[in-house]
């Protein structure tokens, strides 16, 4: 190899493979403090873990395990037999062995409280592969959701075209159906791959009683002993996630107990017109009136569009006499709004618990007048919040609005992407990723003084975040992805999602022309409600002439952040972790 070609090869390697010479000054200073003769011994590494990383119970065995994990670096001559030199110490800090969340905790929340005491990882229209109007229905997105730890799956069930079987589809749209039995079998197969805690199936039911009986048979045969079905009566209190491990729970509105006058009147009107509405496709009446339907939603989403709790939904009237009793017995979590207005919907019954569903707009309107009533309702009962009807593109809303009022089932379009979904992913990284996160105590306190998210509370703690540097883009992106002619100009955005008084975003300077940017900037975030706070992290590439390019994101629950200097992996827009991209950051509570 000629001297010239050797020199090019060497520059290429040094430019894009991070080296200790690029370590921030803080890291070099800490290395000096905890090393002797330029080597960090096992005992010195243990001291570093205790004093800097906040791992108070760290042992010599823990330190030795970290050293052993770096054995692959030995061949690079950066691993000294007596311990870590600067290069190895830097590699440890930036390595997978040093994640930002507490790795060994697993499920560590108390799982013996009633279901109503937990935020639950909840999907909306879980069977859709894409948009809300014309995408395919499939069991694939259901499987994907369950594998990510989602615990609530929503299925809209309708008669098929010949009225002798049951399909899953988004009613009154052009979505192509999938058979219910296929979805049920996939749920059974994948329900507990990511978490042992219970899976709830919420059914939006548009069936006649004979098809309800068919569904009852399908569900019973598919799930067998996995099914939790307490019988016909409402539960007095919800069981705990612990007691329901590896169980499947059905939740829907029980069949109506009497014929509604408006339904009888509608039937009479159809009869006069000589029209048999039951012969029509479930979406037939609506497909030509999308615009009217969704224009109504724009003005007022209080019609419960597409939701199983909508008292105005156009479904076959059901009565107690002709409702399939085996179907009713399967319903463990009863849903329904009742006949009154919001105040009646939020009434707490001391003798039974239930589930209420509200659209995102319905919730936002209710908060102004009934905020504390919502918090009290959710201490015993379940509240499900779902996206408004005009979100054709399967986008989502701010989940914190529901969570800060105690809503357990903040239902999201998991096949979409965007900042709201990143927050959802972040919240459910907590508690070992099991899909159940215990609500903070202040949301569960009974009495008149229910939690008010808008109150100006005192600062409980301040999170100090140091954004040191980032690496890995050179390996995970095409080399002309950000700029055809020069290295990228990266900057980071860091902030908090939480109650309104905690929410903020800040950003670093842009580092020009560098695949391995070093920002070395410090941000402080005073937190009034740290229990609900999520740390938002994004990286973008500055573009003078066009929209800045996305370069990675993650969202982390503040309650589970590990103090100290940590390697923070970044994810794609859809939440998939990059192979190499990560940031080096420091977290301190001051």
Per-residue confidence (pLDDT) for residue 544, from 0 to 100: 85
Q: Which residue has the higher pLDDT, 319 or 186?
A: 186
Q: How confident is the model at residue 270 (pLDDT cuts 50, 70, 90)?
A: very low
Q: How confident is the model at residue 254 (pLDDT cuts 50, 70, 90)?
A: confident
For residues 403 and 534, state if they share a domain. Answer: no
For residues 358 and 432, state if they share a domain. Answer: yes
The three-point CA angle 213-219-220 to 5° equals 90
For residues 124 and 208, state if they share a domain. Answer: yes
**Residue 271 domain-assigned?**
no
pLDDT for residue 256 is more than 60 = yes
**195: burial class by Cβ within 10 Å (0-12, 13-18, 19+)?**
buried
Per-residue confidence (pLDDT) for residue 323, from 0 to 100: 67
pLDDT for residue 257 is more than 90 = no
| Residue 75 designated active-site | no
pLDDT for residue 301 is more than 50 = no
Site of tokens 């690079």: 76
Per-residue confidence (pLDDT) for residue 74, from 0 to 100: 56
For residues 492 and 526, state if they share a domain. Answer: yes
Q: Which residue has the higher pLDDT, 268 or 40?
A: 40
pLDDT for residue 11 is more than 70 = no
Please give the backbone phi and psi of residue 292, each rounded to the nearest 5 degrees, phi first.
Answer: -60, -40
The residue from 93, 124, 143 where one domain ends is 93
User: Residue 428: CB partners within 8 Å, gap ≥ 6?
Assistant: 119, 121, 149, 435, 437
The DSSP annotation for 348-402 comes to: PPTT---EEEEEHHHHHHHHHHHHHHHHHHHHHSEEEEE--TT-TT-----THHH
**Residue 337 domain-assigned?**
yes
For residues 144 and 59, state if they share a domain. Answer: no
The DSSP annotation for 426-484 comes to: HHTTSGGG-SEEEPPGGGT--SS----TTS-PPP-EEEEEEEEEEE-HHHHS-TTSS-S
The H or E element that residue 277 is part of is none
Per-residue confidence (pLDDT) for residue 70, from 0 to 100: 83
CA distance 71 to 336: 59
The CATH number of whichever domain residue 418 belongs to comes to 3.20.20.190
pLDDT for residue 6 is more than 60 = no
Options 117, 124, 206, 405, the catalytic residue? 124
Q: Residues 412-429: pLDDT tens digits?
A: 999 988 999 999 999 999
pLDDT for residue 83 is more than 90 = no
For residues 49 and 188, state if they share a domain. Answer: no
Per-residue confidence (pLDDT) for residue 292, from 0 to 100: 41
Q: How confident is the model at residue 116 (pLDDT cuts 50, 70, 90)?
A: very high
pLDDT for residue 5 is more than 60 = no
Options 109, 170, 334, 540, the catalytic residue? 170
pLDDT for residue 525 is more than 50 = yes
pLDDT for residue 288 is more than 60 = no
Per-residue confidence (pLDDT) for residue 289, from 0 to 100: 42
**Residue 477 domain-assigned?**
yes
pLDDT for residue 92 is more than 50 = yes
The H or E element that residue 540 is part of is strand 534-541
Inter-residue contact 538 to 555 (CB < 8 Å)? no
Average pLDDT of 289-310?
38
Q: Residues 367-399: pLDDT tens digits?
A: 999 999 999 999 999 999 999 999 999 999 999
**Residue 129 domain-assigned?**
yes
The CATH number of whichever domain residue 487 belongs to comes to 2.60.40.150
**Residue 40 domain-assigned?**
yes
Point out the least confidently predicted range of 91-100, 310-319, 374-383. Answer: 310-319
For residues 159 and 308, state if they share a domain. Answer: yes
Query: Above pLDDT 90, what percent of the chain?
Result: 75
CA 382 to chain centroid: 18
For residues 165 and 138, state if they share a domain. Answer: yes
pLDDT for residue 196 is more than 90 = yes
Give the other-Cβ count within 10 Å of 227's Cβ.
Answer: 16
> What is the average pLDDT value for the chain, to the nearest integer?
86
pLDDT for residue 175 is more than 50 = yes
Residue ranges making up the domain that contains 53: 14-93
For residues 308 and 341, state if they share a domain. Answer: yes
For residues 197 and 249, state if they share a domain. Answer: yes
**Residue 306 domain-assigned?**
yes
pLDDT for residue 335 is more than 90 = yes
For residues 439 and 468, state if they share a domain. Answer: no
Average pLDDT of 519-526?
98
pLDDT for residue 277 is more than 60 = no
| Residue 170 designated active-site | yes
The residue from 443, 470, 489 where one domain ends is 443
Q: How confident is the model at residue 358 (pLDDT cuts 50, 70, 90)?
A: very high
CA distance 479 to 485: 9
**Residue 263 domain-assigned?**
no
The CATH number of whichever domain residue 42 belongs to comes to 1.10.238.10
Closest C-alpha to 473, from 17, 9, 11: 17
CA distance 159 to 209: 11
Average pLDDT of 539-566?
95
Average pLDDT of 51-57?
95
Per-residue confidence (pLDDT) for residue 303, from 0 to 100: 30
Give the three-class secondary structure for 155: strand
Point out the least confidently predicted range of 7-16, 32-41, 96-105, 113-122. Answer: 7-16
- Can you say whether the dihedral through the CA atoms of 255, 259, 262, 266 is positive or negative? positive
Closest C-alpha to 387, from 378, 379, 397: 397
The three-point CA angle 42-47-51 to 5° equals 150
Query: What's the domain count of the chain?
Result: 3
For residues 379 and 488, state if they share a domain. Answer: no
Closest C-alpha to 360, from 329, 318, 405: 405
Per-residue confidence (pLDDT) for residue 3, from 0 to 100: 36
Give the three-class secondary structure for 265: helix
Per-residue confidence (pLDDT) for residue 310, from 0 to 100: 44
HEC string of 26-47? Answer: HHHHHHHHCCECCEECHHHHHH
**Residue 239 domain-assigned?**
yes
The residue from 61, 93, 125 where one domain ends is 93
């Amino acid at each position: 190899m000629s001297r010239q070609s050797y020199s090019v090869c060497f520059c290429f390697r040094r430019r894009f493979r991070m080296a200790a010479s690029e370590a921030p000054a803080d890291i070099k200073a800490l290395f000096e403090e905890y090393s002797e003769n330029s080597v960090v011994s096992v005992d010195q590494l243990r001291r570093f873990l205790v004093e800097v990383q906040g791992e108070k119970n760290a042992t010599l065995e823990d330190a030795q395990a970290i050293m052993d994990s770096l054995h692959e670096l030995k061949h690079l001559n950066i691993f000294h037999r007596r311990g870590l030199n600067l290069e190895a110490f830097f590699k440890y800090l930036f390595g997978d062995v040093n994640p930002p969340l507490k790795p060994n905790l697993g499920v560590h929340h108390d799982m013996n409280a009633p279901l109503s005491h937990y935020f639950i990882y909840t999907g909306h229209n879980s069977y859709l592969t894409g948009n809300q109007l014309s995408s395919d229905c499939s069991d694939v997105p259901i499987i994907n959701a369950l594998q990510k730890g989602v615990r609530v799956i929503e299925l809209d069930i309708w008669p098929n075209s010949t009225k002798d079987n049951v399909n899953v589809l988004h009613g009154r749209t052009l979505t192509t159906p999938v058979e219910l039995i296929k979805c049920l079998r996939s749920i059974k197969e994948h329900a507990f791959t990511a978490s042992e805690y219970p899976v709830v199936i919420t059914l939006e039911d548009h069936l006649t009683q004979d098809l309800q009986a068919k569904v009852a048979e399908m569900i019973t045969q598919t799930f067998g002993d996995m099914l939790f079905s307490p019988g016909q009566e409402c539960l007095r209190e919800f069981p705990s996630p612990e007691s329901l491990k590896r169980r499947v729970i059905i939740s829907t509105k029980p069949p109506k107990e009497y014929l509604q006058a408006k339904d009888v009147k509608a039937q009479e009107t159809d009869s006069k017109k000589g029209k048999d509405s039951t012969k029509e496709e479930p979406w037939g009446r609506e497909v030509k009136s999308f615009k009217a339907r969704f224009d109504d939603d724009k003005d007022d989403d209080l019609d419960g569009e597409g939701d199983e709790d909508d008292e105005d939904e156009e479904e076959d009237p059901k009565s107690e006499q002709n409702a399939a009793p085996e179907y009713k017995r399967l319903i463990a979590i009863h849903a329904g709004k009742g006949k009154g207005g919001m105040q009646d919907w939020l009434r707490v019954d001391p003798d039974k618990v239930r589930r209420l569903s509200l659209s995102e707009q319905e919730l936002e309107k209710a908060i102004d007048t009934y905020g504390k009533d919502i918090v009290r309702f959710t201490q015993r009962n379940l509240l499900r919040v779902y996206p408004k009807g005009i979100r054709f593109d399967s986008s989502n809303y701010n989940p914190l609005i529901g969570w800060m009022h105690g809503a357990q089932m903040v239902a999201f379009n998991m096949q979409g992407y965007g900042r709201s979904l990143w927050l959802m992913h972040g919240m459910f990284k907590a508690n070992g990723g099991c899909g159940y996160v215990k609500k903070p105590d202040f949301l569960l306190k009974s009495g008149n003084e229910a939690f008010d998210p808008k109150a100006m509370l005192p600062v409980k703690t301040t999170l100090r975040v140091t954004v040191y540097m980032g690496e890995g883009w050179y390996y995970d992106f095409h080399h002309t992805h950000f700029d055809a002619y020069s290295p990228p100009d990266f900057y980071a955005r860091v902030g908090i999602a939480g109650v309104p008084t905690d929410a903020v975003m800040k950003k670093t300077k842009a580092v020009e022309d560098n695949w391995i940017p070093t920002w070395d900037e410090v941000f402080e975030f005073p937190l009034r409600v740290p229990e609900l706070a999520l740390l938002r992290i994004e990286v973008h590439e500055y573009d003078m002439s066009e929209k800045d390019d996305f370069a990675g994101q993650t969202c982390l629950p503040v309650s589970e952040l590990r103090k100290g200097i940590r390697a923070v992996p970044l994810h794609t827009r859809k939440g998939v972790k990059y192979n190499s991209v990560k940031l080096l950051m420091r977290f301190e509570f001051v």
